[in-house]
Structure 1
């Protein structure tokens, strides 16, 4: 990933025989079916029924394709309608998590720079919603980062356990984990955990608001 990001290069003129949108859509389909390890420029060109030269006109590398595909699925995350800040944040993060789980390959790419318009748009919405709720200064990025880390960590853990949980006999020396740690409802666990985070954040905003009012 040492080359310049696809988002920082001038966009080339579309060729009638192949569009960037079609390339990205086919890449997402391939990734959904087989995962990131199986994605190659040659296989993508074959699926598009075109030559590699034509494909390279639009995208230089596999990294370009992955960045474009990752941003494309962020476009599936619904932007919440106006409402209370907690409801908006909860809706945004629930949609974010659902999208990652629909595309399990994406959780392995979340360390990539997210500079595409869809990812930036959702991140902007999160920051703006928190700012309107009263978060400011260092509290604003801390709150946004905590929420983003929670949703990506939750999706990554759930996607990683789709291969099966550890058998009970493997946990005989860890009784609490055996009883409570593995067999749970993922949706409920996510909702409860997000509620804990938002409770703490709401409390902090309330304290700061009262404190500034007293000054």
Structure 2
């Protein structure tokens, strides 16, 4: 009859680290979905107690944000240093970000409210700001614009995270097509154009619209709307080096 081995003979557990916890969370999410990435589930995966995980993460939301940041390392930032129009390259970066979220549907929905703050997120933000600066977007507009651009990409991924339900889309299409010009003249006039364009086409247009809007819309100054900006600067006056910094 075999005797139980001494605890001293068992291999020592690896030291718990933030990186190890995030790696385990990514594995659990890939196999079971983000909903299963909880402190209790990870504690079981790492052979420890839930209390030990709270040393590294205050709550599950913070853990999910760390998982998102880990996956943002897969975003292709090479367009930043490539040649070509800065708008096209910015759109390519945002498209890569969206595709990363597409690969993890449950994470895409969580990303709408997640607040990542790791190095991968910072690199992504820095890349977007670099391209906006290359396009001569005023710094104050760029600082708010980066948030809008990421929100559009995130919400696009989240909207399609669960897959498009044909019945729901058919119901929307039927409702739009059934309107009467007497009650909804503008919907009736646009007709099928309201439903036109594939997902990527609409997303691409949305990104372009936001980029152009960020470029052309000044921030408010002391609660008063700033002066409209032309291509070369405010009212056609070239911006100084200080304004470009």
TM-score class, shorter-chain normalisation, is 0.7 to 0.9
Distance 1:50 1:182, change over 3 A: farther
Q: Distance in 2 between matches of 1:162 and 1:24?
A: 30
Q: Distance in 1 between matches of 2:118 and 2:126?
A: 12
Question: Counterpart of 1:24?
Answer: 22
Q: CA deviation at 1:134?
A: 0.7
Q: CA deviation at 1:168?
A: 2.9
Distance 1:183 1:108, change over 3 A: farther
Q: Distance in 1 between matches of 2:53 and 2:213?
A: 49
Could you state the TM-score of these two structures normalised by the residue count of structure 2? 0.66
Distance 1:170 1:187, change over 3 A: closer
Contact conserved, 1:96 with 1:151, CA < 8 A, in 2? yes
In the alignment of these two chains, the number of paired residues is: 201
Question: Counterpart of 1:193?
Answer: 206
Contact conserved, 1:28 with 1:69, CA < 8 A, in 2? yes
- Is residue 64 from structure 1 mapped to residue 62 from structure 2 by the alignment? yes
141, 144, 147: which is aligned to 1:145? 147
Q: CA deviation at 1:95?
A: 0.9
Superposed, 1:47-196 pairs within 5 Å as: 47-52=45-50, 55-56=53-54, 58-80=56-78, 81-82=80-81, 83=83, 84-106=85-107, 107-166=109-168, 168=170, 171-175=173-177, 179=192, 185-196=198-209
Q: Mind listing any 5+ residue stretches in structure 1 that lack a counterpart?
A: 1-14
Deviations 1:47-99 (A, max 9, x none): 33444465455445323321211111111112124134223211210111011
Contact conserved, 2:24 with 2:42, CA < 8 A, in 1? yes
Q: CA deviation at 1:27?
A: 0.7
Structure number with the higher helix fraction is: 1
Contact conserved, 1:127 with 1:144, CA < 8 A, in 2? yes
Distance 1:30 1:178, change over 3 A: farther
Question: Counterpart of 2:233?
Answer: 208
Of 201-210 and 139-148, deviating more is 201-210
Contact conserved, 1:158 with 1:186, CA < 8 A, in 2? no
Distance 1:32 1:187, change over 3 A: farther
Could you state the TM-score of these two structures normalised by the residue count of structure 1? 0.73
Q: Could you say which structure has the larger radius of gyration?
A: 2
- Give the root-mean-square deviation of aligned CA atoms: 3.4
SS in 2 for 1:211: coil
Contact conserved, 1:165 with 1:182, CA < 8 A, in 2? no
